[in-house]
Amino acid sequence: MEFVRDGALNSLLQKGKSGLYPNAFIQYAKQIADGMKYLRDEVSEHTIHRHLKNVQILSYTSAAGTFPWMSSECIRSNAFSTKCNVRSFCVLLRECITGEIPYRGFDRMQVLFGIATNKYSSRIPTACPENASQFMKVGNNFHIIDQHIVNYMNNQMKLLKYVILVGRRLATTQSNVNIGDQMKMLNDNKQYTKALELFDTLSKQNIDKCSNWIIIQALKACTEINDVQHGSQIHNLISSRLKRDPYVLPSLIHFYMQCGDVSHAQLLFDKSTKKTLFMYGAMMKGYIKNNSAKKAIDLFKEVKNPNEVMVNLVFNACAQLATEKELNLLKSISSMIPNSFYSNHYVLTSLIDAFIKCGDVKSAKSLFDKSTKKTLPMYGALMTGLTINDREEEAIAIFNEIHLNELHRENHNEKQINLLFEKKTDCFEANITIYLCLIKALAKLGILEQAQSFVQQIPSSVLADHRIQNSLIHMWGKVGSVDEAKRIFENISQLDHIGWTAMINSYGLNGMGIEAVKLFHQMPKELMNDLTYVCVLNACSHAGLVDVARSIFNNIQKKTEIIYTTMIDCLSRRAAFEEAQQLIEQFERDHAPALTIYSLYSLDVFIIHKVLVPLLSGARNQKNTKLSQEVVDRMQKLFPNMKSSLVPASILLANVYASAGDIEKATDIKIELHKSGCKKQIGVTVTDIDGKLWKFRAHDRSHAESAEIHEQVDRMSKRIIEHGHKYDASWIVRPMQPDETIETLLCGHSERLAMAAHFIRNRKPKRIQMTKNLRICGDCHEVTKLVALIYQCEIVVRDTNRMHHFNMNGQCSCQDYF
């Protein structure tokens, strides 16, 4: 190159804006043609010329090189021939005339797909000379290129005519491709209806004019807006094309799957004789979407050499099922996939997420720690998983790590960390995800002071995002700040169903049932869904508004399992057991028996967690051992294999017997549970004291100040007894030891230790807030009311069911409906 003073051809093209002058163009074109002829005739007829791109990097390897200059045979990995030279030569000539990079404005995948499928073909102008017309026909089908074409190009005048035709050809092709790009742009901007209108205009003229790219964009628009009718019409229009053209089929399968028509997608897949990885991927993704993860896993096992996309999908399927069997499969697949897959952050993120959802946090953290290129989605997956597994403090610590890394880069004027995102919008979306994970962790933690501290760190651009706003409404409700939730709710310009539902739930959690019902009636009916009904019924349940709940329930046209469950809980809390049982019978007349009907669901706006049993919860309050035993017996008969739900039901049954004074029966049940390997969840209370989180278990003596804390508990006990409190032995659920008393057992509960710790650090606190992972016991509830009154301190406790605001007048916001 040191003898070529002016460098490569692309340097000359970059200097001008309109391509080469005619004489220069003719000389370059002729010399290139002469060189191609020489390589063919003098060197070897099997030589593939690699120097036809303007910077000489066209590669011999398929799919390695620069797509605009490559032929379809290169991309398809077919046998190589001199045909690819002609393709590259044609593109180069067009570039020389116009001075433009081929297919400017198209992304790499568009160009790759277009060339591979030969969609860049055009009509031959009628004014073409016969020999030029024949040449154009050859150019439209690279499979019939003849070697005499190079000799033909040696005629300068004919070559110039050809180049003019090539320019026309590419211009005609790009006009067709541009429609597909316009549709893609509309889809990217979520203007799906307009994209379909553009497709309809073109397809009415002639469906054959619609390239695969256009059809794929049309199907994508139908998928996004769930337009089954329109998508089916497109299917009918292209049905004859599907057998000879497999490239549209994955998009069609994806459309049917995402719209819930699994059988139609399955039919298309089964009929296909040449199943591609894209088709397998569309089917797997569809199965996961339609809650058939096992079928996705079975399909994955049929593929001999799965690619990264399919591995990513099977990880997602395992995460959906989240059993020990899937955990073992995860470990097996992750040990066999190529090491190169681990450089794909999407695969790593899915694997971390799957490990966590299968309960293996240790493997997830190990994988995360070993990764040399940690991305925000990976951080987000780990934060979400830790929050789900009741390790929200660790999730918050990860956010602090990200924040400290960012400050370090700013202080050292370093460029932003490479997060493998090509667009700024992708990076913004990842940041949104991280803040959503943080907000969920703060909501789970349930401490107002912590929430306030971290929300102040969220940038204003992020706070303006509607997803963040909806999540914050939920969070403020979960930490007991209804006023802050309401402020955000009232300032959202366009409320969606999530925002409305989150606000209704915030009212309900905090004992403001009337406000929740009032807002429910203001909500547009078209935005209401199952979660909305559950929220308002749950609000009625916690406020004792049974009649209002009945009215709302009776007006719901389509009552689902979860709606029945919430109404049964509402009735049970008011000891309306007969009516609750009638409702169960009503449900089972039209449906198969469902475990959820016997199980109480504690509402979370984004996740509904099954925790206890509605009838058992009500029977527990009434100490009704007969009804409790009947319910558990029926559950064991109907669902003998559902241990995850039967265990908490059995624990609650034991507590019912204990509260009725039958300690022996309660002990027998717990012994049987212990023998079966079941472990009771340990009660923990978390509180913030001077900006630091403190954790307490029952009778905890692990803190440095434990001696002082227990002394303070004794002082509190004396004062509440002076105010007439009598300890309630019915809340003791295990046999007492010889050295124990009713008072010492109940005074050792974790929430009382947390309150005492506050009084040790601050003699006259104005506000104490705590979060407990179990339901607060009746004796602790009465004690806390008295402590708030005696010490004139507002106390907020969130247990597994709701918020309790203990006011300084000695009353609780729950009105004893807990």
User: Backbone phi, then psi, for 194, in 5-degree steps?
Assistant: -65, -35
Q: Which has the minimum average pLDDT: 165-169, 425-429, 582-586, 740-744?
A: 165-169
By CB atoms closer than 10 A (0-12, 13-18, 19+), residue 66 is: middle
Neighbours of 429 (CB within 10 A): 15
On the CB side of 492, CA atoms within 13 Å amount to: 24
Percentage of the chain modeled with pLDDT above 70: 69
pLDDT at 565: 86
Contact 29, 162 (CB under 8 A): no
- Give me 540's structure tokens: 């009625």
- Give me 163's structure tokens: 């180049």
User: 614 by DSSP, 3-state: which?
Assistant: helix
- Give me 581's structure tokens: 């049982």
Q: Rounded distance, CA 252 to CA 250, Å?
A: 5
The DSSP symbol for 685 reads E
Comparing 613 with 327, which gets the higher pLDDT?
327
User: Backbone phi, then psi, for 770, in 5-degree steps?
Assistant: -140, 155
Rounded to the nearest angstrom, the gap between the alpha carbon of residue 344 and the centroid of all alpha carbons in its chain is: 18
Buried b (16+ CB within 10 A) or exposed e, 594-607: bbbbbbbbbbbbee
The DSSP symbol for 67 reads G
pLDDT per position as a tens digit, 703-728: 999 999 999 999 999 999 999 999 98
Nearest CA among 587, 532, 536, 550 for reference residue 565: 587
pLDDT per position as a tens digit, 673-697: 776 766 777 889 999 999 999 999 9
Element counts in the chain: helices (H) and strands (E): 41, 7
Nearest CA among 135, 119, 123 for reference residue 75: 119
Place of tokens 């896993």: 297
Work out the pLDDT band at 243, boundaries 50, 70, 90: low
User: 643 by DSSP, 3-state: which?
Assistant: helix
pLDDT per position as a tens digit, 437-467: 999 999 999 999 999 999 998 999 899 999 9
Q: Rounded distance, CA 274 to CA 193, Å?
A: 33
Contact 47, 38 (CB under 8 A): no
Q: Average pLDDT over the chain, rounded to whole?
A: 78
Q: Rounded distance, CA 295 to CA 317, Å?
A: 9
Neighbours of 327 (CB within 10 A): 19
Residue 36 has pLDDT above 60, yes or no: yes
- Chain length of the chain: 818
User: 694 by DSSP, 3-state: which?
Assistant: strand
User: Backbone phi, then psi, for 611, in 5-degree steps?
Assistant: -130, -50
Buried b (16+ CB within 10 A) or exposed e, 204-226: eeebeebbbbbbbbbbbbbbeee
Q: Rounded distance, CA 619 to CA 624, Å?
A: 5
By CB atoms closer than 10 A (0-12, 13-18, 19+), residue 412 is: exposed
Element (H, E) at 93: helix 83-98
Q: Rounded distance, CA 215 to CA 196, Å?
A: 10
